[in-house]
Structure formats: structure tokens, C-alpha cells
Structure 1
Amino acid sequence: MTVTETGPCPCGRVDLRGRPVPFARCCGPYLADFAHTPAPDAEHLMRSRYAAFVLEDAPYLLATWHPSRRPPEVGFEPGVKWLGLEVKQHRQVDATHAEVEFVARSRQAGRAQRLHERSRFVCEDGRWYYLDGDLK
């Protein structure tokens, strides 16, 4: 997928009028400058991680994975085309914990796939991290 600064963000966020939010005003700043531009909440982090999967941005995915659960590397399956993200629910558990339920759709070798997960996030030192999730 080709993503441009002015084109719609892969995460699918829309503005109040239902128009796609441009990548440069959505997930782009988080991916471009993780060190100085952390996602403000778990939903924004979830959306930016989806965009990172679309763009195959392994450094961002690893940086936003909590160190206690972070894998040594992130692999991308060849030929996967990401089709869309639907955030079903964002729940703030307490000041430093949140959950995001989402469905991510993709296609590989002509076969549709659907990933439905309830992800858990933690905020440490003002920065949100992905912990883990339960597949539905």
C-alpha cells in the first residue's frame, strides 16, 4: 500500500464530517518521531501500530511494544495486503491501563483474513505501550 502525507491514514480515522484524516495529521507524526511524539492514548497507539504494520515499520512496532513482552524481531508475511481497521471499543481501565478491541482485515494470496483482538496497553512515563492481546 502506498501511503502519502496528504492521503488518508491507513488506520481509517475519519473527521467529524466523515472524511478520512490525512496520514500527516493522524498516525504519521507518531511513526516519524517516536522519541518526541508519543501517542496520546491507547487507541491512537493501536491505530499507529496498525499503520506501522501496513508500512512494515518494524522499528516503530518494536519501540511501542512493552519491553517485558517485546519479541526480538517483527516479521512481515510476504504478499499481505491490509484492507482496513475497525476499532470496536477503547476502554480506559485506570490512569495507566487501557484496552482496545479491534478488527483488522487483510488479504493474502487472494484469501481474506480477519484479526479480531482485545489488546491491552500500559502507560509508563507518559508513553503508551502495547502489552498483549486476546484473539476473539
Structure 2
Amino acid sequence: MTCFFSLENFLHELCFYFEKKTEYELKKAKDKGLKKYTNYLKQFVLDKNFFGTELWERITFFNDLINTLAHADGRLDLSSNKDLADKLEKKENILVTDRNEIRLTENFLEEVTSTLHTFLFLLYKQLESYGKR
């Protein structure tokens, strides 16, 4: 959970950095949280599809899962969230028991940290040319 809070905080700070350097206001970006920050940062990345990649899909899945669990006191009701249930079925490193308990495999943390590391590296590459303009 801490990784995603840190990611959200980092993207928030990055938005403030660009807001100070440009005329684009963060408050005009739609949504909230990660979605707000990515909507804002889309203006500055080289590849306008950067936040539509499979890599970003994995990050938003992990973030949605954490938010769902956090707002449900750690209990997962898959009957009311078919989309999440379908995505969980396809995950190799997350198992759902018959009692709808989530079990993370030993490779889960490696998958999350590797995903975040790759994303941040690629985000840096997307934004580094902006500083050279």
C-alpha cells in the first residue's frame, strides 16, 4: 500500500513542479488522485498514449485493488465488483480463496516493485525532453 501512496504523492509533487514552470493549472485537471495527476501530466509526456499502456493498466489495477480493500475494511465483495473479479482471475500472483480472501504469492511484491520501477524510469524518459525545451 505504501508504494502506491508514495507513487500518488510523487505524481502530485511532479504536477506542482510543472504547474510552477508552466501556465497549466492542476486544479483544471479532471478527476482526483492518480487519475487527476495523469490527466494533468498528459500535457507534458512525449507519447500521448503513455498513460494508456499495459504498464499503466497494471498500476491502476493494483491501485484500484488497494482502494477497494481499504474502503471495505479489508473484506472483498467480488459479487458487487465483477470487473475486479475478472481481473483478479487473470493475475498469477494474486489468488482468491473460496471465501473471497486474497492471497498474495511470493512473487507479488517483486511484480509490484518491478512495475513501479519500470513505470518511473519510463516516465522520466517521457518528461526529460520537456526540460530541454
Say yes or no: TM over 0.5: no
What is the TM-score of this pair, normalised by structure 1?
Answer: 0.28
Q: Which has the larger radius of gyration?
A: 2
* Greater fraction helix: 2
* Greater fraction strand: 1
What is the TM-score of this pair, normalised by structure 2?
Answer: 0.28
